[in-house]
Structure 1
């Protein structure tokens, strides 16, 4: 059994809508597309979806299948949000009933604190990855800029040569939803960037002509996967044995700022969070830091 054609038409128009009118990033649009395709495949596999309206039991069964696969609550919640947004759009444009996903509850969030590097670990990272080759200069500039700005890896791969302004120590970043923000950085990142641009990037380009700031060793724009590979190697050279993912540098940026007295609103602005609640997860980390400091320092702790 195939999913109703009007529902498929609505899905195609929805993807165009979020890409062109809402200015969602290609990565976000692709995420919505995959969530919709997964739901349609479920309907067809269950012999459902011939009509235009999806009932609550069908939506509930889909979520149950997600739990059966062992997906995290955050992933399931994101898929529910994707489908809820789609059916709200389909209801307005095509008259398709959206009550099934409006009635679904999001799973309770898992209390997982963000992982981050301690300041001593960051120092080891920098010390272990200094060098003079074009590759080493590029890698150090990536590390310095990630730690100095807290930008997402996807934001870093989108940077153009003209986005950082070393004269003002500030970088222009295009974030989620095409929201533009400017992030300051310090003299360590400035020096690493200036050295990379003057001594490394022209040699790595190998005659290629494009305006992306960071390039791979073939001279073409560096991808998200490429940066992850670079960071894995840098962590390995520093002999840090904890599991690492690129977002840890973003968590580290926020945690170190708050631990050293930055206010929550400023950190929210720097991270490009639309809501303060997204930033507040770091308060748990800073409370743990304060508690550990107290227990280690107070004579009667």
Structure 2
């Protein structure tokens, strides 16, 4: 089947992205969102020529997505018979502004690349701006809540104790769950209490650091693991395979419900960052630990501490109080 001009350029764009060694997740995001946009241009406006795409088409696409809702548009109609999107609880629910901004960002990357390739005389994304979003405050987990959560894991079973140690390590290091579950035993440096993280979001290796408490727990876990597993993976399944993110998320949610917490691994990463800052840590070091692309990303992500937390931190660092002026 012959590709349209837009489809041809999309395939070329994806090949260019692959040559830059972008992550599979990023490539998948580009492909999925851009194929849906190209399909919209074809079905709603009869457009297949890249030079005919205007800024108005992009703005109308945003409105179209907002109006249609989640999972109502698919790249291939046959996929509906396999995935059954109409059975999802959030079918036709409003697409969040964060998701729409991701679509807009991907469209802009695509058309900016076309301009760099010399395929466009006038770039339609020049006047396109992202939608303003209201930042939702990240909910923190208290020390008491975290202790209650840990107490719900069944330490006598391999998977229960493994999941407890994973949860502790997320809170102690701020790693992403994908990074944590991909760790091997040799990545741990007990002498300097640090871990080399290799399978990162940006594909840049970095070190994260752990406490003395975590060191003791990791050593105990390794002895426990060796009774059940022969793999070099730090957190394997009983079948010596890598524990999937979905499986861990499901098990974490189950124990969370037992103490009234609706918890997700990324929430623990956020909690690490929150308490790191409240304990006097700086944004630059935190950015390095979290593996963010810049300090600005870290500042934008974690400036939403509650008023009570800010007030408490102020009392600890008030210049006048430290001068002890009476």
Q: Do Structure 1 and Structure 2 share a fold, with TM-score over 0.5? A: yes
Number of the residue aligned with 1:298: none
Alignment of 1:194-209 (within 5 A): 194-201=219-226, 203-204=228-229
TM-score normalised by length of structure 1: 0.85
Number of the residue aligned with 2:305: 285
Number of the residue aligned with 1:299: none
- The yes-or-no answer on 1:113 pairing with 2:133 is no
Number of the residue aligned with 2:161: 137
**Native 8 Å contact 2:138 2:304 kept in 1:** no
**Native 8 Å contact 1:172 1:182 kept in 2:** yes
Kindly state the Cα deviation for residue 222 of structure 1 after the two structures are TM-superposed: 1.2
Kindly state the Cα deviation for residue 95 of structure 1 after the two structures are TM-superposed: 0.8
Number of the residue aligned with 1:127: 151
Number of the residue aligned with 2:189: 165
Classify 1:10/1:162 alpha carbon distance in 2 versus 1 (closer, same or farther; 3 Å): farther
Equivalent of residue 119 in structure 2, options 91, 95, 117: 95
Name stretches of at least 5 consecutive residues in structure 1 with no aligned partner: 296-301
Name stretches of at least 5 consecutive residues in structure 2 with no aligned partner: 70-93, 316-326
Alignment of 1:66-81 (within 5 A): 66-68=65-67, 69=69, 70-81=94-105
- The yes-or-no answer on 1:85 pairing with 2:109 is yes
Kindly state the Cα deviation for residue 32 of structure 1 after the two structures are TM-superposed: 1.5
Kindly state the Cα deviation for residue 147 of structure 1 after the two structures are TM-superposed: 0.7
TM-score normalised by length of structure 2: 0.79
Number of the residue aligned with 2:22: 24
What is the distance in 1 between the residues matched to 2:187 and 2:122?
42
Kindly state the Cα deviation for residue 108 of structure 1 after the two structures are TM-superposed: 1.0
What is the distance in 1 between the residues matched to 2:110 and 2:226?
43
Alignment of 1:231-270 (within 5 A): 231-237=252-258, 239=259, 241-270=260-289
Q: Which runs of 4+ in 1 moved over 6 A?
A: 292-295
SS where residue 258 of structure 1 aligns?
Answer: helix
What is the distance in 2 between the residues matched to 1:158 and 1:253?
20
RMSD: 2.5
Kindly state the Cα deviation for residue 55 of structure 1 after the two structures are TM-superposed: 1.2
Equivalent of residue 174 in structure 2, options 126, 141, 150: 150
What is the distance in 2 between the residues matched to 1:147 and 1:258?
13
RCO higher in 1 or 2 (8 Å CA, sep ≥ 6)? 1
Q: What is the aligned residue count? A: 287
